[in-house]
Chain A
Amino acid sequence: MAQIVPLSEAVAEHVRDGDVVALEGFTHLIPHAAGHELIRQGRAELTLVRMTPDVVYDQLIGMGCARKLVFSWGGNPGVGSLHRLRDAVENDWPAPLELEEHSHAGMAAKYAAGAAALPFGVLRGYAGTDLVEHTSVAWITCPFTGERLAAVRAIRPDVGIIHAQQADERGNVQLWGIPGVQKETVLASARSIVTVEEIVPALEPRPGGVVIPSWAITAVSPAPGGAHPSYAHGFYDRDNAFYARWDEISRDRTRFQEWMQRHVLDTADVLEYRRSLEQLEAAR
């Protein structure tokens, strides 16, 4: 059974320095509130895993939480570069960042293998590319057909963190809309934290809904608005203007640090974070 606890407690109890941590959510339901809590609690030396390390990992990397990044596409979707990620890779600021990069299909296969507790995933990929020299991939021969295939090591994070729309009072979780790779992330991880928009007495089945039973989750934490600037289908839209603004905020180290201080370090939780952004908006 999942414990239902405040997010600060879930992070304090389940995420340790040096852990392999995966925060997933493919454009939709990105667990920003949990990312902010990792930053507030000063987690360090993390190996961060994520297919699309967008703004949430730009913040974690820029704040010095990461030692290594395992990923497949690192950009600000529809906007451009992730300036903190680039600064870490190009200039070692605030610290050097080791990269292990894959294709999306490779990452998806790694998560699916992790969820199945298999040692590796298999796909037709990587062949002929320069990725082979710079990442962890091996070749196997199909025992039935003799075909040569790419094998990628399973992702087995210490902690998997996702955001969902709802949990019930027993900690069963449901998410709907674009489901991404969230179910695989929870099932592949030794421990898991699910932040939710709301806790309801009972889950109502939704079209395309993904239900994760309480007993497969370690902790459930309420975090209303916890996906912002990403979105929660049926609750609020993607804050596209914020992604565009992030380009300016993150371009400069000092401006980035000031923003993180004001909106993350000086706020106690997601409610205060949202209030701080509303105040900023009102002052514009």
Chain B
Amino acid sequence: MSFNIEALRSQFPILSRKVNGQPLIYFDNGATAQKPQVMIDALNNYYSFQNANIHRGVHSLSQEATTAFEAARMKAQAYFNAAKSEEIIFTKGTTDSINLLAGSFGRTFLNEGDEVIISTMEHHSNIVPWQMICDERKAKLRIAPINEKGELLLDELKEMVNKKTKLISIVHISNALGTINPIQEIIDFAHAHDVLVAVDGAQSVPHMKIDVQAWDCDFFVFSAHKMFGPTGIGMLYGKEHLLNKMPPYQGGGDMIKTVTFEKTTYNELPHKFEAGTPNIAAGVALSATFDFLNELDWEAIHQHETELLAYATAELKKIEGLRIIGEAANKASVISFLVDGTHPFDVGVILDQMGIAVRTGHHCTQPLMDWFKIPGTIRASFAIYNTKEEVDKMIVALNRTIKMLR
């Protein structure tokens, strides 16, 4: 199948709208990706014709809603190649998944003096939950360093691993730099030293298909909205034997087997970790999103995005005084940059006037920005539907912006 960008774009209604009188150029995919019609239709259809609470009703509508919601779990299992559907825990998103993991795993596996390793390039959501639990358990949080290109220093990470190390929680693709970390090598090394690995896949899922069993990762987290799905739902994948050892994170409905005022017994996986009514509509829409993703030619997308990244990088570098932050050899289609004599905020405001959506600021990675000694960057993050023509328009707009600001 050849890669037909126009056919792909036509599935995303928002891409044909205007912003500030200009055709929208959406380069803020790292924050959230746009939505295909099939996902929007599923969401609409659910509330129009399927709405009922799940897992507990005997009536037909509830059964139907349950089936539609649980289909998302089956599809997630197949899509990420998990061994069992019970290993798929639905959460609110990446942040919620990591909080669940840190809270539940931490209270079970972390003891005084134990160590957890993260890296310098983590998003706040893969820093703060670990700081909180390490504080509580008197464990130590260690930070694997990077080099000036924004690449993880793998040898130094390996040297940090010792008998006290319980877990490495690491980002697959950096949201601020685009760096793709060598996850397979990290997992292989960690497992050889009896250390578990959690992978933050928030930025990976829109760019590639992940196979959790091929990696053999112990935990994997992502948010659906970053891979063209709905907001408010995400996933924590965990190996069954580990999830079984972890206590529930929140109490409430759906997560119990029996409740008396004296003692409550908990439900089985995955429901043990899914207290309360979940985001059913988002689950159903996520199910439709998997259908959309399954139709994609990921090899063609990889080629398209690689070309787009190389093209945009080369064009940006032609601009005088422009500095790219994050020049890892292995990068996803994310470009952070700064322009001498301008502030990222100002550049973002002016580009927005021309219909171009980029992200500016610290990207929820303050320690990383501190490491580079910069307040923030301008970030253009591309997705499957972006084009070279859009990059050209951004370059023209950027040159105009710089002329105005300097």
Asked if A pairs with B, the answer is: no
